Amino acid sequence: MKNIIEQTDQSIFKTYSRYPVVLTKGEGVKVWDEKGKQYLDFLSGIAVCNLGHSHPGIVKAAQSQLEKLIHVSNFFYTEPQVELSVLLTRHSFADRIFFCNSGAEANEAALKLARKYANEHYNAKRFEIITMKYSFHGRTFATLAATGQEKFRKGFEPLPHGFNHVPFNDIDALEKAITESTCAVMLEPIQGEGGVNIPSDSYLQQVRQLCDREELLLIFDEIQVGMGRTGKIFAYEHYGVEPDILTLAKALSGGLPAGAMLARSKVAQSFTPGSHASTFGGNPVVMAAGAAVMKELVEGDVLENCRKMGEYFFERLLNLKDKYPDIIREVRGKGLMIGMELKIDGNDIVQRCLDDGIIINCTLDRILRFLPPLIVKKDEIDRCVDVLDEVLSGVQS
């Protein structure tokens, strides 16, 4: 198996720093490496495998679609696209969906739609989009420009202009940044890569009011927080606000590459044949898997488990904070999206957890991020916290 690591390092772009572990199998919360070592995946492939690895419903739906029809062009209609779009519209604010293949693509579509809408309804001078500092929206040129973290943008300038970043959770800063050129505000209801940042209870409502007053479109990027991660299908449901455009990807099809932009008809009308497209967008196999995910979220007890286990996990992590006040600054989160901000660098802690069979990660070098599958059980959470406790006790001494 050393061969796989060596060959990867020789033949694949070095865009990722990888652990020297070759994963070969997954089931539920567990994954195994080629030596048979078992890990608990408290990262879910970065918020992708929300129903766990190789969920039987997803496998069955994808397998049966694979046997029927793998791909056709979007010149034709297919049933799985409708099945997923009906489920998404029925359970969201939206009545139109555009399907694509990833988060960056979904956001790219949202940015284009916002500009086209403003161009049609106001004038071509309204093109600027305000996003948040510490946001993450993707790696394409426009989504990099939207991303409020310098480190991702460095070396790729000049980026498309027309993006302005303001501090998250600061309504005054947002209000001040709005000009005649502004056409939309885009944000993650809970910031993921930026460190699991939770807005105050009223912030998103204030943003909505501001957008209504100034006639700006409000775009929510729920690529990381959507699809049940916070205990509701969409994170915006916690805050009593609805966006005009919403983007999804990651967990949408349970591990198959999928992205979606959701909007109301009034806004969606600005896209007409030829405005936007994707060869693979709405692929039947990926859509069938997505429909299986949505059905499970709607009909199963996944969301309830997420809420219950989220509370339990949060409590246990808070206890660690009491035990290690010199190491842990704060625990924050919603549902099963939890961040633990440290007073020290967290990368070594992630490595030691991995050695002990627990997969987590660390954003901004200081914030441990826990994103287990939403089907996680109490004993699995206990195992994760016990390992972390052990690792932290080693740091302490």
Rank residues 231 and 327 by Cβ distance to ligand PLP and give the closer one.
231
Given the rule CB under 6 A, which of 62-70, 108-116, 198-206, 218-226 is the region that contacts ligand PLP?
218-226
Is 193 a binding residue for ligand PLP by CB under 6 A? The answer is: yes
Strand-pair partners of 131: 165
Is 102 a binding residue for ligand PLP by CB under 6 A? The answer is: yes
Measured from the Cβ of residue 70, the count of other Cβ atoms closer than 10 Å reads 10
Size of the site for ligand PLP (CB under 6 A): 14
Measured from the Cβ of residue 140, the count of other Cβ atoms closer than 10 Å reads 17
- CA angle (365, 370, 376) in 5-degree steps: 165
Contact 51, 254 (CB under 8 A): yes
Residue nearest to ligand PLP (CB): 103
Contact 179, 166 (CB under 8 A): no
Given the rule CB under 6 A, which of 99-107, 173-181, 279-287, 342-350 is the region that contacts ligand PLP?
99-107
Rank residues 147 and 182 by Cβ distance to ligand PLP and give the closer one.
147
Is 138 a binding residue for ligand PLP by CB under 6 A? The answer is: yes
Is 136 a binding residue for ligand PLP by CB under 6 A? The answer is: yes
Contact 69, 277 (CB under 8 A): no
Is 296 a binding residue for ligand PLP by CB under 6 A? The answer is: no
368 closest CA partner among 343, 351, 350, 381: 350
What amino acid occupies position 263?
A
Strand segments (E) across 149-300: 163-166, 182-187, 217-221, 245-248, 259-263
End-to-end CA distance of the chain: give it in Å, rounded: 36
Contact residue for ligand PLP among 50, 92, 197, 224 (CB under 6 A): 224
Rank residues 58 and 328 by Cβ distance to ligand PLP and give the closer one.
58
Is 104 a binding residue for ligand PLP by CB under 6 A? The answer is: yes
Beta carbon of residue 78, minimum distance to ligand PLP (angstroms, whole number): 23
Q: How far apart are the C-alpha atoms of 145 and 156, rounded to whole Å? A: 10
Given the rule CB under 6 A, which of 49-57, 185-193, 353-361, 384-392 is the region that contacts ligand PLP?
185-193
Strand-pair partners of 358: 40
Is 134 a binding residue for ligand PLP by CB under 6 A? The answer is: no
Is 96 a binding residue for ligand PLP by CB under 6 A? The answer is: no
Tokens 């979007």 sit on residue: 74
Is 192 a binding residue for ligand PLP by CB under 6 A? The answer is: yes
Rank residues 221 and 341 by Cβ distance to ligand PLP and give the closer one.
221
Given the rule CB under 6 A, which of 23-31, 58-66, 130-138, 196-204 is the region that contacts ligand PLP?
130-138
Contact residue for ligand PLP among 137, 165, 316, 369 (CB under 6 A): 137
- For residues 277, 278, 279, 284, the Cα torsion angle rounded to the nearest 10 degrees is -110
Q: How far apart are the C-alpha atoms of 361 and 17, rounded to whole Å? A: 12
Active centre residues (catalytic): 136, 221, 250
Contact residue for ligand PLP among 40, 223, 267, 337 (CB under 6 A): 223
Rank residues 168 and 385 by Cβ distance to ligand PLP and give the closer one.
168
Which helix (H) or strand (E) covers residue 7, if one does?
A: helix 2-11
The side-by-side arrangement of strands in the sheet containing 337-342 is: 328-334, 337-342, 367-370, 361-363
Binding residues (CB under 6 A) for ligand PLP: these are 102-104, 107, 136-138, 188, 192-193, 221, 223-224, 249
